[in-house]
Structure 1
C-alpha cells in the first residue's frame, strides 16, 4: 500500500498516538484526521436526542441549519458592517414585545442565553431602584432582591457578583412555587424587585405572578414603594403564549417591567441565544448603555458580551417567520399531548406519582416513586441510562423541600409517540431490573441541581 493510499484510511496516526491534551502540538495533522479525532471522542458522549434532562434545543430544520452554517463568520456586534443583522435582532425584540403584550414602544436585546439576560435585567432593577432612592434623598445601601428557591442558580450569582442581598423564599413539600404570601414579609424600601418564575426548572410550573402583581400594586398604593417584577421566562415565555394564551403573567400585569426568555429552549433554536425585553424604553437605565465608534460608526451597546456570532439571531428570526403563532402553537400542543401520554403511562404503571400535571406546566413530566422500594429515583435514572441510553435526571428539590426526590423528562419535537411508549416501557423495565438486584447507589443521594441550559 502506498503512502497516499495509507493516508486515505480511517484514523491514521491518531489511532495509535495519544490525542493532544496537555501541551500545544508541535505539528498539525491532516484535516480529515483532525475531524475524525473529534468524531471518535464525541461518539463517547450521550445522544442529544435521548437527553431528556436538557431544556436546550437539539434539532432544527435543514433550512435553519443552512442559515446558521452560512453566517457563522458574521460578527453580530459589528453593526456598521452588518446592519441587517442588527435590524433583524430588533425585529425579534419587537415581535417578542408583541407576544408578551407590551403596552407601547419598548426596547430589548439578544443575549448569550438567559444567564446574560438575567444579569442585565437584574442590573436594570438595581439601577432604577437607585434612581428612585436618590430622587427621594434616601440611602442606596443594602439593596435586596426577592425570589423563591425555585429559581435558576444565576439569580444567586447575580446577587453575589453585584452586591445585592438575596432574600430567598424556601419551598416546602407539596409547594414548589411561590406566591404573594411568601413575598410580602420580605418587602421593604431596599427591595429592588421581585423575581417570578414562569416554568421552573424543577417541576415546570409557574409562580403566582398575578397574585404577586396585586400585592405589589397594593404596596405601591399603601406604602409608596414601587417594586417591579422581573419574569424569568427562560423556559416558559415561549410556551405560555401558545398553550395558555389567556393566562396573565406578562406585560398585561402592571408591575411586570422586564422579561427574559431563552431562544435556545422552547424558542426552538440551537444554543446559545437569549432575549431580554423591557415593558417600556424608560425601564432600561441610560447609565447602562454604552456608546462606541471604533467599528466604523457610533453604536449603543447594552450587553455583558461583545463579539458574538449573528447566526443564532438569524435562526431565531427564521423560526418566527417560518412558524408564526399558528406554527408555535401547533408545536407546543404536540409536545403537551405527548407529555400527557407519558404522564398517563407512568401513572398507570402503579410505580410513580406524577407531580402537578393538572396545572399549567411546561411540556415535561415530573414524577417520583410511590411505595416502598430498595432503590430510589437516582437508581432508576442510572439503570435507565445503562440499559437504554436515556438521560432522565433525578434530583432533590431546593430547601425546604429537599426531602423530595423526583425525576423529570422533557418532551421535545424529536420525541415521537412511538418513542414515548418505548421510554415508558424502558422505565418499567429498569424498575423490574432494580426489583431483582436492588439499589445501585447504596446510601448516596443526588444533590440539588440548579437547572442547566441558561
Structure 2
C-alpha cells in the first residue's frame, strides 16, 4: 500500500466511513476484512434506501413487536431449536404452542403438529400427509396410486402450485370469476374424483382478505363420502386468517368443528404478531399425520421425532410466539384485532365517501384490510394511484390483477396493521384522495416510469 493509500485509510478510520468514496464489495469475495464500524456503516447505508415498514401496507408480515419480545428474540438468536437434548425447555414451549393452537382451533381430542419456518413449509408438510394417507387408502383398496390430484381455488398462495410441481401431484385449480373471488362447493365438486388427495380452502385470501366457503365445502365432502364412498379430507390454509377469525368471528365455523377439516396451517409471523420466521401446522388427530413422514433420529444422545423440511433453525421466534400467547391471551388478541378492524372500516368508509372507489366485499367476514378498485373509467388506473402514493407520499399500497378467470379485474389493497393509528388512517385517506386529484389533472403515469418505481425497494 502506498503512503497516500495508507494515509487515506488512516483518515477514513479517524474521520468517517471509507465507503463514502469507495465502491462497496458486491461481486468478488473480499480479500481482506474491515473495521466493525465500517461494516456497520456499509450495511446501514444500503438499508437507508429501503421502504419504511410502517408505511408498507402490502405485507401481511409483522413489522413491530414489543421491546420485551425483542429482548427474548435477541437473547435466543444463538439457540438452535432442533437440539432438543440441549434445549428441552424450548422443545416443551413448542409443544405448548401446538396445544394452545389446537385448543384455539377446536381440535376434538389428542392432536399433533409442528412449528415451521412459515405457512409455506406448513402447507408442504400438510399436503405431503394428505398424499401419503390417500396412497394408503388406495393401496388398501387395491387401486392405482399413479395419478394423485389436489383441488384448490385460484385464490391460493403460489406455494400450493409449488407443492404440486415439487411432489408430482396434479393441481386442479378452480378459476375465479369477475365479482366472485373465493370458491365454494359448486365450484369444487366437478374437480373431485377417486384420485383427489384433498381439497384446500383459504381463510383470508391474499387478494381480498375473504374466506372460501369452508362450511359449504365440508358439507359437499360429507355428501360425497356418503354417496360415493370417497373420503376426501380438507386442509384449511389459515396463513392469515387463523389468528383473525377466532377473535373477530368466534362463532364462524371453519376449523376442526367441521368434520372433514383434517389439518390447518397458520403463520405466526402474520397476525400471530411475531417477526418473520414462524409458522404452524396443526392436525385434527394424531392419525392425520402420516406415520411414514415422521423420522426417529438419534441426535446428540437423544432420540427425537422430526417432521419438518428444515433441520437447524433458530429458537427465537418460537419463544416469541409463546411470549405473545401468554402476554395477550384471548382478550389481548381480540382487542388488537378489533382495533385493526375498526380502522379498516374507517378507511373503507372514507374511500367510499370519495365516490371514486368500489369497496370489495364490504360487510363480509374479512381480514383487517380494505380491498378496493376504481368505480369507473378515468384517465388513470389503480397502478397509477399506487405509483403516485409511493413516489410522493411513501405509502406502499399494492395494485394487482386477480387470477384467472378474473384476470381483467385490477384492485388495490391496504392492510391495516397493529401499529397503524387512526391519524395514519386519516392521512392515508387524504393522500389517496390527493393522489387521485393529481392524476386527474396530469393523467396516468407512463408505464415504464411506473414500473421503475413499483419494482424498487419495498415492493
Q: TM-score, normalised by structure 1?
A: 0.96
- Quote how far apart the aligned CAs of 1:94 are: 0.2
For 1:261 and 1:297, the matched residues in 2 are separated by 29
Q: How does 1:406-445 map to 2 (within 5 A)?
A: 406-442=411-447
Q: Give unpaired runs (5+ residues) of structure 1.
A: none
For 2:424 and 2:177, the matched residues in 1 are separated by 34
2:13 is matched with which residue: 7, 15, 24?
Answer: 7
Q: How does 1:23-422 map to 2 (within 5 A)?
A: 23-422=28-427
For 2:300 and 2:273, the matched residues in 1 are separated by 32
User: Could you tell which deviates more after superposition, 284-293 or 320-329?
Assistant: 284-293
Question: Could you tell me whether the CA contact under 8 Å between 2:387 and 2:450 is conserved in 1?
Answer: no
Count of matched residue pairs: 447
Match of 2:23 in 1: 18
For 1:215 and 1:433, the matched residues in 2 are separated by 50
Cα deviation, 1:84-123, whole Å, max 9, x if unaligned, reads: 1111001000000000000001000100110000000000
For 1:249 and 1:2, the matched residues in 2 are separated by 66
For 2:299 and 2:337, the matched residues in 1 are separated by 43
- Quote how far apart the aligned CAs of 1:372 are: 2.2
Cα deviation, 1:61-96, whole Å, max 9, x if unaligned, reads: 000000000000000001010111111001000000
- Quote how far apart the aligned CAs of 1:284 are: 0.4
- Quote how far apart the aligned CAs of 1:196 are: 0.3
For 1:396 and 1:21, the matched residues in 2 are separated by 35
For 2:10 and 2:72, the matched residues in 1 are separated by 36
> Partner of 1:439: helix, strand, or coil?
coil
> Partner of 1:298: helix, strand, or coil?
strand
Superposition CA RMSD, Å:
1.7
For 1:136 and 1:422, the matched residues in 2 are separated by 62
For 1:395 and 1:371, the matched residues in 2 are separated by 17
Question: Relative to 1, partners in 2 of residues 1:419 and 1:98: Cα closer, same or farther, differing over 3 Å?
Answer: same
> Partner of 1:381: helix, strand, or coil?
helix
Question: Could you tell me whether the CA contact under 8 Å between 1:378 and 1:441 is conserved in 2?
Answer: no
> Partner of 1:300: helix, strand, or coil?
strand
Question: Relative to 1, partners in 2 of residues 1:269 and 1:8: Cα closer, same or farther, differing over 3 Å?
Answer: farther
For 1:324 and 1:145, the matched residues in 2 are separated by 36
Match of 2:4 in 1: none
For 2:363 and 2:14, the matched residues in 1 are separated by 58
- Quote how far apart the aligned CAs of 1:296 are: 2.2
- Quote how far apart the aligned CAs of 1:407 are: 0.3
For 2:15 and 2:53, the matched residues in 1 are separated by 29
For 1:2 and 1:374, the matched residues in 2 are separated by 55
Cα deviation, 1:29-59, whole Å, max 9, x if unaligned, reads: 1111101110000000100110000000000
Q: Give unpaired runs (5+ residues) of structure 2.
A: 1-6
For 1:444 and 1:65, the matched residues in 2 are separated by 39
Cα deviation, 1:314-355, whole Å, max 9, x if unaligned, reads: 000000000000000000000000000000000001111110
Question: Could you tell me whether the CA contact under 8 Å between 2:371 and 2:414 is conserved in 1?
Answer: yes
Question: Could you tell me whether the CA contact under 8 Å between 2:384 and 2:450 is conserved in 1?
Answer: no
For 2:258 and 2:449, the matched residues in 1 are separated by 44
For 1:443 and 1:5, the matched residues in 2 are separated by 43
For 1:354 and 1:202, the matched residues in 2 are separated by 13
For 1:302 and 1:240, the matched residues in 2 are separated by 27
Cα deviation, 1:366-390, whole Å, max 9, x if unaligned, reads: 0001122111000000000001000
